[in-house]
Amino acid sequence: MNLLIQNARIATEDNPKLLAGDVLIEDGIIRKIGMGIKASEGCRVIDAKERILMPGMFDAHVHFREPGFEAKENIATGSEAAINGGITGVVMMPNTVPAIDSATVVGQVLATAAKNSRIPVYTSGCVTMGRKGKELAGIDGMRALGVKMLTDDGDTTADAAVLFRAMQYAGEMGMFFASHCEVPELAGPRALNEGAMSYRLGIQGSPACAEEIIIDRDIRLAHATGAHIHIQHVSSKIGMETIRWWKQRGDVKVTAEVAPHHLIFCEDDIGDYDTHYKMNPPLRTKADNAALLEGLIDGTFDLIATDHAPHTPFEKSLDFVSAPNGITGLDSALVSLYHYFVATGAFGWDLIVKRFAAEPRRMMGLPVPAIKEGSAADLLLFNTSGETTFTREFMKSKSQNTPFLDKTLKGSVDLVMLGEDVLLDRI
């Protein structure tokens, strides 16, 4: 489809100001950017007044549950949820059944994705066989199929010696490690943060130090081996400050991510055992929210990732301790970031583009899309005057375990385009 987007306000990662202009897209390529561009015959014209044009987002931390837990999500529904939220590429986590720990499973996952997804789907691979923390996974075979990220996400690689050996081995192959940071003996039942809310609800809490100890341990292992370590879903102030300290040293390659829910919600939101607010790492305090936001703005966090973790309504209807951890995020991430932060002036669109579109792709060694002449179209239009109500019918994920269920937020994703294909159109 040939498309002329008129009166666009263009967001880029390196300029806090929005650029004004018309954008002509022909045969999936951005051909011209300027003022007063004329449409050729048969070209669709969109007036982008009140809308922001930006590159498609990229989520480097999603759980699509396939193979093994397709009742919660599968690659087809997960990728449609991504499109619904303006996300045009994702990286799957390997805590499936069977675990993604060999070239065989990687090949099956990528084949399913190629058949069932309209966006690029990449997968991480396990550090250890079955994520059991004992024997190294089939790392070289996974590397040969394009796997770059190794993680036992869902759990920490508990044995430091095993992780140390993996870093020595795979670091030389250009692979990197993503760490779910948690001392299981300290974390306990993983239900919620240890603090005022856990005491009020009478549930054993998970102290922040259970996360912070492993953040420091895994960065130290990366420092010793020369590996690249990526710290996943950081939830606490001290965790953020630990990462900042190591980055300031300058002698270890460490990146880190923060999830929208750890910026927006805190333990107070749990109320009377609302399992939509149960996740791991748990929601912590308002002071932690403020520190994480500071870390996102100052660059301690390199990227935003949703940790999209779908569960069935039945599972989330169990009692608070028994219900699984997790929150869906693909449908809602971009709108919620706009509602709570961009619309309030906490940060601008340039940070969104940098942390949620550009840096995740750079970490994965992928081309970074941009709104510039000659680039392939990989973009979205965001309506700042619109609203989004997150009903079950609106969301494309097979599961809707989110605090945003049936709530209305400012902003809407109106158009998503990838190459010649318009993947979503609400205009």
Q: Give the phi and the psi of residue 189 in degrees, each rounded to 5.
A: -75, 0
| Element of type H or E holding 228 | strand 228-231
| Catalytic-residue membership of 152 | no
Radius of gyration of the chain (CA): 21
| Element of type H or E holding 417 | strand 408-418
Question: Torsion-angle region of residue 373: left (phi > 0), alpha (psi -120 to 50) or beta?
Answer: beta
Burial of 298 from C-beta contacts in 10 A (0-12 / 13-18 / 19+): exposed
Predicted local confidence at residue 331, as pLDDT: 98
Predicted local confidence at residue 296, as pLDDT: 98
pLDDT tens digits for range 118-133? 999 999 999 999 999 9
Predicted local confidence at residue 178, as pLDDT: 98
Least Cα distance to 88 among 122, 47, 115 occurs for: 122
* Interior/surface letters 411-421, b for 16+ CB within 10 angstroms, e for the rest: bbbbbbbbeee
pTM score, two decimals? 0.97
56 close to 83: Cβ distance less than 8 angstroms: no
In the chain, list all ranges with CATH 3.20.20.140.
56-363
Tally DSSP H helices, then E strands, for the chain. 14, 16
Q: Give the C-alpha separation, 219 to 167, whole Å.
A: 11
pLDDT tens digits for range 16-25? 999 999 999 9
CA distances from 300 to 52, 175, 257, 344 (A): 26, 22, 9, 22
Q: Tokens 């609106």 — which residue?
A: 394
Predicted local confidence at residue 24, as pLDDT: 97
The answer for residues whose C-beta is within 8 angstroms of residue 200's C-beta and 6 or more apart is none
Q: Give the C-alpha separation, 237 to 292, whole Å.
A: 6
Least Cα distance to 268 among 328, 194, 196 occurs for: 196
CA torsion sign for 136, 244, 60, 306 is positive
Structure tokens at 280: 């791991």
Catalytic, out of 307, 331, 378, 414:
307
Cis check: omega of the bond before 98, within 30 degrees of 0:
yes
212 close to 242: Cβ distance less than 8 angstroms: yes
How far from the centroid of its chain's Cα atoms is residue 206's Cα?
Answer: 23
Structurally, at CATH architecture level, domain 56-363 sits in Alpha-Beta Barrel (3.20)
**Bridging pattern class, strands 421-425 and 408-418:** antiparallel
112 close to 100: Cβ distance less than 8 angstroms: no
| Element of type H or E holding 103 | helix 103-116
290 close to 235: Cβ distance less than 8 angstroms: no
Predicted local confidence at residue 50, as pLDDT: 87
Q: Give the C-alpha separation, 286 to 282, whole Å.
A: 13
Predicted local confidence at residue 1, as pLDDT: 82
pLDDT in tens, the chain (427 residues): 899 999 999 999 999 999 999 999 999 999 999 999 998 888 999 999 989 999 999 999 999 999 999 999 999 999 999 999 999 999 999 999 999 999 999 999 999 999 999 999 999 999 999 999 999 999 999 999 999 999 999 999 999 999 999 999 999 999 999 999 999 999 988 889 999 999 999 999 999 999 999 999 999 999 999 999 999 999 999 999 999 999 999 999 999 999 999 999 999 999 999 999 999 999 999 999 999 999 999 999 999 999 999 999 999 999 999 999 999 999 999 999 999 999 999 999 999 999 999 999 999 999 999 999 999 999 999 999 999 999 999 999 999 999 999 999 999 999 999 999 999 999 9
403 close to 186: Cβ distance less than 8 angstroms: no
Q: Give the C-alpha separation, 66 to 57, whole Å.
A: 22
Q: Give the C-alpha separation, 412 to 427, whole Å.
A: 11
CATH class for the region spanning 3-53+373-425: mainly beta
The angle, 0 to 180 degrees and rounded to 10, between the axes of the packed helices 160-170 and 209-225 is 40
CA distances from 272 to 164, 263, 288 (A): 42, 21, 21
Rounded-to-10 torsion of CA 77, 79, 83, 87: 150
In the chain, list all ranges with CATH 2.30.40.10.
3-53+373-425
